[in-house]
Structure formats: structure tokens, C-alpha cells
Amino acid sequence: MNDLIEVLKSDEIKDISSEYLEILIDDSLHDDTLKSIPIVSTVCSLYKLSKSLSDRSFIKKLIVYFYGIRDVPYSQKVKILDKINRKDFDLEDFIVSVIIRNENIDKTKLLSYIFKEYLFENIDQDYFIRITYIVEKLLWLDIEKMAQINFDNIPEKELQLRDVLISNGLLRIMDAGMVFTDGKPIPATVTPNEIGKEIKRIISGYYKLKSES
């Protein structure tokens, strides 16, 4: 049995409150207070965690990730998570690896939002994995810019961001840059591909939800 999947299905996820989240993010939090939070106690037991700083960091990020899916109905979670169990994909290993590699709490919240999009069947498993990996690699500064710009009309002042999006496979080059008579290159014409459109939709949706909360 995949223990993490059972935790994801449990009521403990639903019971994570914004107050708990604020407590968890507090770096001065005492260990006894930390472990008094039910979901934290479960996670510590599940992974045999200690009081080390690295373990505390992992706990915080994992609970932040859980918090993002707290409003997904039980029946919907069971539908998707049971389906994952029948496929050649280790969700627990995937999520834990993502949490360990990521050091940014804001990005953890976005990664959780991507997972929620998958649980609600707005993206399939392949896109969930691909988009998660891509977002992991992006700088948070670039992600914030991505929420504000139109991928079809990237301003010249953001050509460095355009190159980042191209290198991560989110934009398709329609025609190569040409050269003016004075030697200055014309920026290439680009358009978002399908995964680029999905990432733009998800990031915009995340920021919209964030502004409303």
C-alpha cells in the first residue's frame, strides 16, 4: 500500500487550516508545537523524521503542498489516486522528490496547484509530470513575469524571458530572426505550443486564486 496516497485521501488533508499553515512557516516554531499538529505527526511517523533542520523544512513544504489540495472532494481524489496505483508511476516518490528539490515555499504552492489541476482532470498524467518538472526548473522571478505577459506578444524588454520559455519547450519559433542593414537582429517570431498554453493557463489561474484569497 502506498502510504502517502492514503494520507492524500484522508480527512487530515481537509482539516489543514490557514492558521496551521502560518504556524508551520514560522521558523521559530518549537518542535513540540510542530508535532502537536495532527497532519505533522502523521508525516513524521510516516517518514521517521527527526528534529533536524532539513526534516523540518521537508515537513513544512510537504504540508504546504497538501494544503493546496484540501478542497478536492474525497471521491475525486480516490478516482484519480486509485487509477495512478494501477499504472507504472510512483506518485509518492515523485511528490517527495519534488518537495526535496524545491526550496521556495511560493513555488511549492504553485506545484500543489498543478497537482490539483491533475486531480480535477484539467490536465492528464503526462502533462502533470511534464509541467511539474518545467516549473521546478524555472526561476520564481520568471514565473511571476509569465503570469503578467501575453505569450503571443512578449515585449522586447523581456526577450531574455522569451529565450527561457523557448529553451524549456514552451514556445515555438515561427520564423528565425533576420538582420537589419545596420546589423541589428530582428527578434524571432514565436507562439506558445500546447504545453506552453497549459502552463500559462495554470500560472494565471494560480495568481488569480491567490489574489482572491
* Overall average pLDDT of the 111-135 stretch: 96
Q: Determine the 3-state secondary structure of 191 from DSSP.
A: strand
The answer to whether the pTM exceeds 0.85 is no
Query: How confident is the model over 99-118, as pLDDT tens digits?
Result: 989 989 999 999 999 999 99
Grid coordinates given for 124: 492528464
Long-range contacts, stretch 104-107, CB < 8 angstroms, 24+ apart: 104/140, 105/25, 105/60, 105/61, 105/64, 106/140, 107/135, 107/136, 107/140, 107/143
* Overall average pLDDT of the 185-191 stretch: 72
Task: Return the higher-pLDDT residue of 155 and 185.
Answer: 155
Task: Compute CA 113 distance to the chain's CA centroid, rounded to the nearest angstrom.
Answer: 6
pLDDT, mean over the chain: 82
Grid coordinates given for 152: 503571443
Residue 76 is predicted with a pLDDT of 94
Residue 185 is predicted with a pLDDT of 58
Domains of the chain: 3-137 (no CATH), 138-213 (1.10.10)
Cα–Cα distances in angstroms (integers) from residue 26 to residues 53, 137, 194, in the given order:
13, 26, 39
**Distance separating alpha carbons of residues 67 and 50, to the nearest angstrom:** 22
Residue 5 is predicted with a pLDDT of 81
Query: Is the pLDDT at 179 greater than 90, yes or no?
Result: no
Query: How confident is the model over 137-155, as pLDDT tens digits?
Result: 999 999 999 999 999 888 8
Polymer length in residues for the chain: 213
Residue 183 is predicted with a pLDDT of 53
Task: Return the higher-pLDDT residue of 204 and 153.
Answer: 204
Dihedral (CA of 192, 193, 196, 202) sign = positive
The residue type at 7: V
- The angle, 0 to 180 degrees and rounded to 10, between the axes of the packed helices 105-119 and 91-101 is 160
Task: Compute CA 13 distance to the chain's CA centroid, rounded to the nearest angstrom.
Answer: 17
**Distance separating alpha carbons of residues 64 and 21, to the nearest angstrom:** 7
Query: How confident is the model over 29-43, as pLDDT tens digits?
Result: 555 656 666 666 676
CA angle 171, 176, 182 (to 5 degrees): 130
